[in-house]
Structure 1
């Protein structure tokens, strides 16, 4: 049975930020109803308060739905919610007109005027702030906020609100709507920035793999390309000599055979060098890469003295684990420890922010087990506690190499 809140722990950092942002705008609907809707019940008679509260509730719900769809639009998941923006504008205007009508033309009383006036101003502020999420250009955001402020005056003054009060209301809508519009724009910008940073981290990991492949390709090209050119020249020379009946043709083909064998040997060395990984280099590289990514990394233990095949197997474990920490989850801290004993050597990689119940690295574990099996090693990996993933590689009976 999953623990309460485990769904949050399985989310990546961008998903967490998006969830927080989305529900923050949903909570605005609760604030709107609680701050200006519920006070209506105590400020005026039920037959008047109930319909006005219903209008405020409808406006809050439409604001929440519009904000959610506008957020999806900014993330490129749907088209611009033009219909919802117009719907929100229409509902906002209707609630504002009803509120100012109650304030100026309804039953008298200071409580009624205060409550209805609050509804009038707040729905315009929330409407302007949420609609600003659904437009992209800055001048249009300014236009939305200024339009709502001007609309407050156009509605309030003809219905009997005094000119000074009308100006104050327009200024309040302008400042409040502008602040909420800025908050909306900043929230969207922050969310996009978090997603872009996460994509950049994955791109960096892919580039590291691509760079290693290019290095391998260059090495093969240098070895095979050079030797093939020599083989081609000597083969051509041998053909010319054979046509002339010269015995030197045999010598040239013998040289071609020798170069071919040398090329095979050099290719094997290149491939072996590509497959082998130096544990000391990998430990240092892991600490540098993770630290550069903003992940606190602690490395303990040394690789000196271990046989080359053991270092290669454990080095690949470090390399794969580091890549997975960068690609998956939301790690803030990672520890890498090399511990030697009479029973052998144990490499432990542990990180927080595991993305899921199985942790990162599922697809690469089979390959690591194959490499460790070559040196009689074993690999264990899994979540040890909530959000913490541990990978343990053990190689028994390791004979130290004299330095």
Structure 2
């Protein structure tokens, strides 16, 4: 069953909406062809029209349905940002429909297409499909209304011009306006919905990239604050030492000793900044994960009792929470995420599990993962622990980090430990 549904379940929400929308409109031309293609041929079989006229009408239905398929596909590509708006194709579709309406009305008046019910069906149905397809190419509701009105007039005016009667023209106009307007409204709403969902997906990715950029800016500001003043002092004292040395005064040695001290102090401060950047506080990461996931509409439950853990263990587990939270946000369509922290007699175990997971392309069995967790495994291995991550089923992903509390990495002096709430 997972192999049959994987093509759907591993898609994001935007991918699912796009696939559904595309195939809905890809099915419309075959519906038109099946519904209208046999009408003139059946009329010819009853003697309503000649064989040549029936074949020609059926070919027009085939060409029209194919043209609608191409225009709809290109219009959805434009909505997805893949291609430019298909202006020329839309113009060709509108012109071809108007020309065909004029031709059918003229041949009907000349008696070459004598079956009025068939002619009216072809005129109205092709105009309806044209109006909906043109609506996919437009963004404004006003322009969609213009397209429907223009299509209705293109179907009704030739009937009046060739003397088929005002009632028939008005009925055709009303039928195209009502049915074509409804179909165009459905097409326009589907296109709008697809664009909104894809914009939300792009906003989610942009949010993740902005978070990375913000962290880089924070790190840059910290380095500037630490190094800016110290480098200025070093430059000033070095210049003073040079001037004293040129004058042969022994105070220059004292200035260089001071420069050496400030340089060593700067190295220590830089190491502290880098250490703070690389280490993750477990308590802060747990609260951050809860806030970020709740803000994204994902129900996040955190079961993390207060534990007295060594700083190295906290840092490693904090990175697990940070990385898995990022994966939940960026991959799949999670609605629930559960984070649990528990302590066994000889180890501490952190479990992060979420639903709505996306099985990577090429993953033949649940449990297979890519290389994105390699960095986490290295951090957990550094404190003597293990990390297991994989799909518990095609829709659920679980990461379990287990770190022993015995041994050189698990034990720590009292001033190295902090309490996790």
Following TM superposition, by how much is the alpha carbon of 1:127 offset from its aligned partner in structure 2, in angstroms? 0.8
Partner of 2:3: 3
**For residues 130-163 of structure 1, what are the alpha-carbon distances to aligned partners after superposition, in whole Å with 9 as ceiling and x for unaligned?**
0232345655434322221111221222444331
Distance 1:402 1:238 in 2: 45
Partner of 1:176: 179
Partner of 1:70: 75
Which SS does the other structure have where 1:78 is aligned? coil
> How many residue pairs align between the two structures?
400
Following TM superposition, by how much is the alpha carbon of 1:308 offset from its aligned partner in structure 2, in angstroms? 0.9
Which SS does the other structure have where 2:3 is aligned? coil
Following TM superposition, by how much is the alpha carbon of 1:171 offset from its aligned partner in structure 2, in angstroms? 2.1
Partner of 1:278: 281
Matched, 1:16 2:16: yes
**For residues 271-303 of structure 1, what are the alpha-carbon distances to aligned partners after superposition, in whole Å with 9 as ceiling and x for unaligned?**
111111111110111111112122222222236
Distance 1:260 1:3 in 2: 61
Following TM superposition, by how much is the alpha carbon of 1:389 offset from its aligned partner in structure 2, in angstroms? 2.0
Partner of 2:296: 293
Please list every run of 5 or more consecutive structure 2 residues that lacks an aligned counterpart in the other structure.
none
Following TM superposition, by how much is the alpha carbon of 1:376 offset from its aligned partner in structure 2, in angstroms? 0.6
Partner of 1:390: 398
Distance 1:264 1:181 in 2: 68
Q: Greater CA deviation, 384-393 or 174-183?
A: 174-183
Q: Greater CA deviation, 355-364 or 221-230?
A: 355-364
Following TM superposition, by how much is the alpha carbon of 1:106 offset from its aligned partner in structure 2, in angstroms? 7.3
Mapping 1:57-206, distance limit 5 Å: 57-93=62-98, 96=101, 105=111, 113-114=116-117, 116-136=119-139, 140-206=143-209
Distance 2:223 2:368 in 1: 32
Q: Check conservation: 1:377, 1:395, Cα contact below 8 A.
A: yes
Distance 2:34 2:286 in 1: 56
Q: Greater CA deviation, 235-244 or 12-21?
A: 235-244
Q: Greater CA deviation, 39-48 or 141-150?
A: 39-48
Distance 1:107 1:54 in 2: 15
1:365 to 373, 376, 390: 373
Distance 1:267 1:117 in 2: 82
Which SS does the other structure have where 2:253 is aligned? helix
C-alpha RMSD over aligned residues: 3.0
1:221 to 221, 224, 227: 224
Q: Check conservation: 2:134, 2:147, Cα contact below 8 A.
A: yes
Poorly superposed stretches of 4+, deviation over 6 Å: 39-44, 101-104
Distance 2:148 2:404 in 1: 70
Q: Greater CA deviation, 383-392 or 78-87?
A: 78-87
Distance 2:209 2:215 in 1: 10
Partner of 1:325: 328
Which SS does the other structure have where 2:372 is aligned? helix
Distance 2:310 2:41 in 1: 81
Distance 1:302 1:260 in 2: 43
Which SS does the other structure have where 2:270 is aligned? helix
Q: Check conservation: 1:102, 1:116, Cα contact below 8 A.
A: no
Distance 1:254 1:298 in 2: 56
Q: Check conservation: 1:320, 1:364, Cα contact below 8 A.
A: no
**For residues 207-257 of structure 1, what are the alpha-carbon distances to aligned partners after superposition, in whole Å with 9 as ceiling and x for unaligned?**
111111111111111111111112222222233333333333332222222
Distance 1:95 1:303 in 2: 77
Partner of 1:381: 389
Following TM superposition, by how much is the alpha carbon of 1:65 offset from its aligned partner in structure 2, in angstroms? 2.3
Distance 1:373 1:58 in 2: 65
Please list every run of 5 or more consecutive structure 1 residues that lacks an aligned counterpart in the other structure.
none
Which SS does the other structure have where 2:27 is aligned? helix
Q: Check conservation: 2:313, 2:403, Cα contact below 8 A.
A: yes
